[in-house]
């Protein structure tokens, strides 16, 4: 065959291949929101995560933060972080597996195990990495992992990294969970659920789930990112809330909510934690948690134990806001936690409402499809123990005015 013909044929084939960046050029939805002044994401905050924050030099009431106990700017937490920074420097220059394990890492693991009333704990650099590492380490080719349909994205991604079968049951529907268990033919199963669902704010029906799991010998892991420091008599989370701590096999937690830092951990039986420690790729191949973040968590745990009034204040603020929204006529769904969604339905309406609230000095978060089903767009609000009644009254008034303007009330 003529060499020029071959060359022309090769070029023609190459020219039919799509440009990997073409999707980026067609991604116009966000720019349209920006042009309309309705883009509510990546807003730049110029102060600490307190009940009030500074944005563009303007003071706003923050009801979009997961700083549930108000510890992010606590003097003792900052003092501990500075102490660790001065002693150990800014980082560990390696992974936990090799050169990056400090004495304070081990001390925090022991402290977390005691706090969660488990034999052992293992800390990771981020909460997201906990779910990636734990699920992919435990679930093998002939296994199955069973999820609530509204589980967090990090759980979904952890399942994708595993070689097991993934099965889902209807949200918080324990009859459907039992059906899925009964139909599963896998060698072994791991059930992974959120303790508190991060968008809806409702709590998993853990006693019923554990009853079915035991019947089918499915081990249970609870992602309690939004439960630790929030639920339970002493802030130990969802399992303590229900009085079933001994029955939950693994409890995952993060520091970026009530524990005033960044990172995450898994707590459970020592043999299981030992296995995860040597099999979780997101632990072995990631840089170690920074000394200052580790020390901050340790201080936050001490404060939770020494200042139980923070949990009381958080519950009081939660009830005030839930009662206020319901009395106005807003739909808040089945929430039982400081996460209170205001369901508005239409995506564009949610963007408009968020920006109107922003202009009234109230910072909220917008959640639209695909994060929630189409037609279920919401304004996600969340509260701190340190919010004052005056601040919360301002928020309720802003919602009332905005809801009336938009025809939601």
Decide: 342 and 332 in contact? Cβ < 8 Å: yes
For residue 17, the 8-state DSSP code is: S
Q: What is the pLDDT of residue 299?
A: 98
Alpha-carbon distance 350 to 342, whole Å? Answer: 9
19 in any annotated domain: no
Residues 285, 346: one domain?
no
Please say if the pLDDT value at position 16 is more than 90. no
Compare 330 and 15 and report the one with higher pLDDT.
330
Q: In the chain, what percentage of residues exceed pLDDT 70?
A: 96
Same domain, 55 and 190: no
Say if 54 falls within a structural domain: yes
Cα-based angle 208, 242, 225 (whole degrees, multiple of 5): 95
Residue 202: inside a domain: yes
Q: Is the pLDDT of residue 106 over 80?
A: yes
Last residue of a domain, one of 283, 306, 329: 306
**Statement to judge: residues 263 and 398 lie in one domain:** no
* pLDDT, mean of residues 302-326: 97
Confidence of residue 371 (pLDDT cuts 50, 70, 90): confident
Mean of pLDDT values over 342-347 = 94
For residues 114 and 237, membership in a common domain is answered with yes
Which of 260, 280, 306 is the C-terminal boundary of a domain? 306
**93 shares its domain with 180:** yes
Which residues are within 8 A (CB) of 12 and not within 5 positions of it... i.e. 6 or more apart?
A: none
- Cα separation, 39 vs 32, whole angstroms: 9
pLDDT at 13 over 80: no
DSSP 8-state secondary structure symbol assigned to residue 124 = E
- Residue 92 has a pLDDT of 96
Cα–Cα distance measured from residue 373 to residue 351, given in angstroms and rounded to the nearest whole number: 16
Q: Name the pTM for this structure.
A: 0.93
Q: Is residue 18 part of a domain?
A: no
Q: Are residues 215 and 301 in the same domain?
A: yes
Q: Which residues are catalytic, by number?
A: 198, 226, 257
Same domain assignment for residues 313 and 244: no
pLDDT category at 372 given cuts 50, 70, 90 is: confident
Residue 359: partners with Cβ closer than 8 Å, 6 or more residues away? none
Question: Are 209 and 282 in a shared domain?
Answer: yes
Residues 291 and 363 in one domain: no
Cα distance between the two ends of the chain: 75
Q: What is the pLDDT of residue 19?
A: 92
Query: Do 302 and 314 reside in the same domain of the chain?
Result: no
**What is the number of domains present in the chain?**
2
- pLDDT bucket at 369, cuts 50 / 70 / 90: confident
CATH number at residue 160: 3.40.640.10
Kindly report, residue by residue over 184-236, the tens digit of the pLDDT: 999 999 999 999 999 999 999 999 999 999 999 999 999 999 999 999 999 99
Provide the residue range defining the domain that includes 234. 75-306
Identify whether residues 316 and 274 lie together within a single domain: no
Indicate whether 321 belongs to any domain: yes
CA 263 to chain centre: 11
* pLDDT of 2 above 90: no
Residue 18 has a pLDDT of 85
The chain-wide mean pLDDT, for the chain, equals 95
């Amino acid at each position: 065959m003529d060499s020029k013909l071959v060359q022309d044929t090769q070029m023609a084939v190459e020219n039919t291949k799509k440009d990997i960046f073409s999707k980026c050029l067609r991604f116009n939805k966000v720019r349209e929101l920006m042009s309309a002044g309705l883009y509510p994401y990546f807003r730049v905050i110029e102060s600490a995560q307190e009940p009030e924050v500074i944005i563009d030099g303007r003071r706003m009431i923050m009801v979009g933060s997961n700083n549930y106990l108000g510890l992010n700017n606590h003097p003792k937490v900052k003092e501990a972080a500075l102490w660790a920074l001065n002693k150990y420097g800014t980082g560990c220059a390696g992974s936990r597996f090799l050169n990056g394990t400090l004495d304070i890492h081990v001390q925090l693991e022991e402290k977390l195990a005691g706090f969660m009333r488990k034999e052992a704990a293992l800390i990771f650099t981020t909460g997201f990495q906990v779910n990636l590492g734990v699920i992919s380490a435990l679930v093998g080719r002939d296994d199955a992992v069973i999820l609530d349909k509204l589980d967090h994205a990090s759980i979904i991604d952890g399942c994708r990294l595993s070689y097991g079968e993934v099965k889902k049951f209807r949200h918080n529907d324990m009859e459907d969970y039992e059906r899925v268990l009964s139909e599963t033919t896998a060698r072994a199963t791991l059930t992974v659920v959120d303790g508190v669902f991060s968008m809806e704010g409702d709590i998993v029906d853990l006693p019923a789930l554990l009853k079915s799991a035991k019947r089918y010998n499915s081990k249970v892991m609870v992602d309690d990112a939004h439960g630790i420091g929030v639920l339970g008599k002493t802030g130990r989370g969802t399992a303590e809330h229900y009085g079933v701590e001994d029955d939950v096999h693994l409890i995952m937690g993060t520091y970026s909510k009530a524990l005033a830092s960044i990172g995450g951990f898994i707590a459970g039986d020592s043999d299981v934690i030992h296995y995860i420690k040597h099999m979780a790729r997101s632990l072995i191949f990631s840089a170690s948690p920074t000394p200052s973040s580790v020390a901050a968590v340790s201080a936050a745990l001490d404060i939770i134990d020494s200042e139980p009034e923070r949990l009381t204040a958080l519950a009081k603020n939660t009830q005030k806001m839930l009662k206020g929204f319901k009395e106005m006529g807003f739909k808040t769904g089945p929430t039982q936690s400081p996460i209170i969604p205001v369901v508005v339905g239409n995506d564009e309406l949610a963007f408009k409402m968020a920006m109107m609230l922003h202009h009234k000095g109230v910072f909220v978060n917008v959640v639209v499809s695909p994060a929630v089903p189409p037609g279920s767009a919401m304004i996600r609000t969340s509260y701190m123990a340190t919010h004052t009644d005056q601040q919360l009254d301002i928020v309720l008034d802003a919602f009332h005015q905005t809801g009336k303007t938009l025809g939601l009330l």
